[in-house]
């Protein structure tokens, strides 16, 4: 292992870096938040959550725990699903209005990502796009430390509690882009699977496919040894390609999803499945936070850019809205069939981890096998049938590809080169699967 990674490249990177928060996992651990904050020496914290969780039981647990530990706090809940410039700058303003010494986030990916991004613009004010990579922004590095962040996820998919990235909508381009910096890594993650007990089936399915794709993308990503050698260790990004650490956590996350996703979606009382999915989401976050995702995530952003008049049942969000995990999975069966030519053995292994029958299968068959396994999982969990299931048709293919091709760094992390025409072909073959 280590340097002897698959397909080592003569002039590529020799090393990889792993970053992790102090992580606690288990039912009931949310109530540890007060003592965790106190142990960090903090006394006055900002609590970020969303309007739907604000008056609910999880925020109540957090507020009571903080009070018991004599930590004062104020709540910011003006957070939209799929955070944008407005909600992030509002969050930054909230943070600047008082002398908070730490930040607690309670919610899904949108809440944690808003907390991360607001923390940047509060500590280091700048034009909104300054810290984004081209073609969106000026690629300025985030100059220094942010408020210590205590992240408490309430969904089993995003993994944001374990990553140094924040995914936000850039209004000028009307699509999502990634802010990345080691400073964004939460200091503490409290992952309490009890928070997912009340989630409806479609939310478990959507977040579950986010976790599936995080893990599958990490496991099939370009090997870190194929990225350029880095002479300045401080310049090594965490989007560094597949490595032994991300392999380890991605593999287990796929095994969990293969075994428990349908159970967790179809039976809200199946605590074992929901606990496992929460652990799988955390593992997948540990993986992609240290390797990076690639094409399915890159191609999901065209969908969230161009969606219009799409109402997603069961979500308290105004149209247009396609849940993140759904926007990622609808093209994934075609994408992995395409990418398998670049890393056939890895795709075959991944299909097996997800529960496909790979007995006597050849690596050359891996694309079809992994694709069929994903489609089966989609059917078992009642998610939309490809792009047509979220309101797109062949007439949208060119625009979708033109939007997603802008995600250059993630596209470069895939195991096979992908150009605009390849993307158009992939979208064309993702209209429906059954
Ligand atoms: Fe994701």
Rounded to whole angstroms, the Cα distance separating 152 from 168 reads: 19
Task: Give the confidence band of 36 by pLDDT, cuts at 50, 70, 90.
Answer: very high
> For the residues 113-140, what does the mean pLDDT come to?
91
Mean pLDDT computed over every residue of the chain: 92
For residues 168 and 302, what is the distance between their CA atoms, to the nearest angstrom? 14
Compute the distance from residue 211 Cα to the ligand 1 centre, in Å.
7
pLDDT value of position 173: 75
Helix 420-428 vs helix 295-306: crossing angle, to nearest 10: 70
- Measure 325 CA to ligand 1 centroid, in angstroms: 6
| pLDDT score of 332 more than 90 | yes
**pLDDT at 174 (0 to 100):** 73
Mean pLDDT of 208-222: 97
CA of 341 to the centre of ligand 1 (A): 23
List, for residues 155-173, the tens digit of each pLDDT value.
Answer: 999 999 999 999 998 877 7
List the structure tokens of 400. Answer: 């979708």
* Centre of ligand 1 from the C-alpha of residue 208, in Å: 10
- The pLDDT assigned to 319 comes to 57
Domains of the chain as residue ranges with CATH:
28-191 (3.40.50.1970), 201-428 (1.20.1090.10)
* Portion of the chain with pLDDT greater than 70, in percent: 95
Instruction: Over range 406-425, report the average pLDDT.
Output: 95
Is residue 135 scored above 80 in pLDDT? no
In this predicted model, what pLDDT tens digit does every residue of 54-89 receive, in sequence order?
A: 999 999 999 999 999 999 999 999 998 888 899 999
How would you label 359-384 residue by residue, b for 16+ Cβ within 10 Å and e otherwise? eeeebebbbbbbbbbbbbbbeebebb
Report the pLDDT value the prediction gives residue 199, as an integer from 0 to 100: 94
Question: What separation in Å is there between the alpha carbon of 199 and the centre of ligand 1?
Answer: 18
Instruction: pLDDT band for 2, please (50, 70, 90 cuts).
Output: very low
Residue 42 CA to ligand 1 center (angstroms) comes to: 31
How far CA 313 is from CA of 79, 202, 317, 323, 356, in Å, comes to 20, 9, 9, 10, 30
Structure confidence by residue, pLDDT tens digits, 247-306: 999 999 999 999 999 999 999 999 999 999 999 999 999 999 999 999 999 999 999 888
Q: Give percent of the chain above pLDDT 90.
A: 80
User: Tens of pLDDT along 340-373?
Assistant: 999 999 999 999 999 999 999 999 999 999 999 9
* Over residues 145-153, mean pLDDT: 98
Q: How far is the CA of 90 from the centre of ligand 1 (A)?
A: 24
- pLDDT exceeds 70 at position 4: no
- Do 420 and 402 meet the contact criterion of CB atoms below 8 Å apart? yes
Give, in order, the Cα–Cα distances in Å from 363 to each of 182, 252, 333, 334, 369.
36, 21, 17, 17, 10
The mean pLDDT of 174-190, rounded to a whole number, is 91
293 C-alpha to ligand 1 centroid (Å): 8
Q: Does pLDDT of 410 surpass 60?
A: yes
**Residue 309: pLDDT band with limits 50, 70, 90:** low
Per-residue confidence (pLDDT) for residue 1, from 0 to 100 = 45
d(CA 234, ligand 1 centre) in Å: 26
- Cα(216) to ligand 1 centroid in Å equals 11
């Amino acid at each position: 292992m280590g340097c002897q990674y698959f397909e080592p490249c003569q002039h590529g990177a020799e090393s990889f870096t792993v970053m992790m928060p102090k992580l606690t996992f288990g039912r009931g651990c949310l109530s540890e938040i007060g003592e965790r904050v106190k142990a960090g020496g903090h006394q006055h914290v900002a609590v970020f959550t969303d309007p739907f969780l604000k008056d609910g039981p999880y925020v109540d647990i957090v507020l009571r725990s903080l009070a018991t530990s004599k930590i004062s706090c104020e709540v910011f809940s003006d957070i939209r699903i799929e955070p944008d410039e407005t909600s992030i700058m509002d969050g930054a303003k909230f943070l600047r209005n008082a002398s908070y010494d730490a930040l607690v986030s309670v919610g899904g990916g949108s809440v944690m990502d808003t907390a991360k991004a607001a923390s940047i613009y509060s500590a280091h004010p700048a034009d909104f796009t300054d810290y984004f990579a081209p073609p969106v922004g000026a690629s300025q590095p985030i100059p220094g430390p942010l408020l210590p962040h205590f992240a408490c996820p309430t969904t089993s998919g995003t993994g944001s509690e374990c990553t140094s990235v924040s995914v936000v909508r850039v209004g000028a381009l009307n699509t999502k882009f990634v802010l990345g910096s080691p400073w964004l890594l939460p200091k503490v993650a409290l992952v309490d699977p009890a928070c997912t007990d009340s989630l409806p089936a479609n939310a478990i399915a959507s977040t579950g496919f986010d976790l599936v794709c995080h893990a599958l993308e990490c496991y099939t990503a370009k090997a870190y040894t194929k990225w350029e050698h880095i002479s300045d260790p401080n310049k090594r990004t965490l989007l560094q390609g597949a490595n032994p650490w991300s392999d380890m956590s991605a593999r287990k996350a796929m095994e969990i999803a293969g075994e428990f996703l349908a159970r967790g979606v179809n039976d809200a009382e199946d605590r074992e499945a929901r606990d496992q999915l929460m652990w799988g989401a955390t593992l997948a976050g540990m993986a992609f936070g240290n390797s990076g995702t690639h094409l399915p995530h890159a191609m999901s952003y065209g969908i969230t850019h161009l969606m219009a008049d799409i109402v997603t049942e069961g979500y308290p969000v105004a149209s247009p809205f396609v849940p993140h995990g759904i926007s990622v999975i609808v093209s994934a069966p075609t994408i992995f069939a395409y990418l398998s030519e670049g890393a056939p053995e890895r795709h075959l292994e991944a299909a097996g981890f997800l529960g496909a029958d790979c007995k006597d299968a050849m690596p050359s068959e891996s694309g079809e096998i992994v694709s069929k396994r994903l489609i089966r999982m989609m059917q078992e969990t009642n998610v939309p049938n490809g792009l047509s299931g979220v309101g797109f048709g062949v007439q949208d293919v060119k625009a979708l590809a033109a939007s997603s091709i802008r995600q250059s760094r993630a596209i470069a992390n895939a195991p096979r080169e992908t150009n605009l025409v390849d993307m158009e072909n992939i979208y064309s073959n993702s209209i429906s699967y059954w």
